[in-house]
Amino acid sequence: MTKLSVNINKIATLRNSRGGNIPDVLKVAIDIQNFGADGITVHPRPDERHIRYSDVRELQAIIKTEFNIEGYPSKEFLKLVKQVKPHQVTLVPDPPEALTSNAGWDTVKNKTFLQDIIAELKEEGIRTSIFVDTNPDNIINASDTNTDRIELYTEPYALMYNTNRQKAIDPFVEAATLANKAGLKINAGHDLNLENLKFFSQHIPFLAEVSIGHALISEALYYGLEKTIALYKNLLAK
Catalytic residue set = 43, 70, 190
**For the chain, the helix, strand and coil percentages under 3-state DSSP, each to the nearest 5:** 45, 15, 35
Alpha-carbon dihedral sign for residues 39, 140, 177, 135: positive
Cβ count near 223 (within 10 Å): 14
DSSP state of 37: -
Question: Pairing relation of β-strands 3-7 and 67-71?
Answer: unpaired
- Residue 45: strand, helix, or coil: coil
Three-class secondary structure of residue 103 per DSSP:
coil
How many angstroms separate the CA atoms of 211 and 214, rounded?
A: 10
Count of beta carbons in the 10 Å neighbourhood of residue 41: 27
Cα(97)–Cα(112) distance, integer angstroms: 24
**40: closest CA among 225, 183, 221?**
225
Q: In 3-state terms, what secondary structure has residue 26?
A: helix
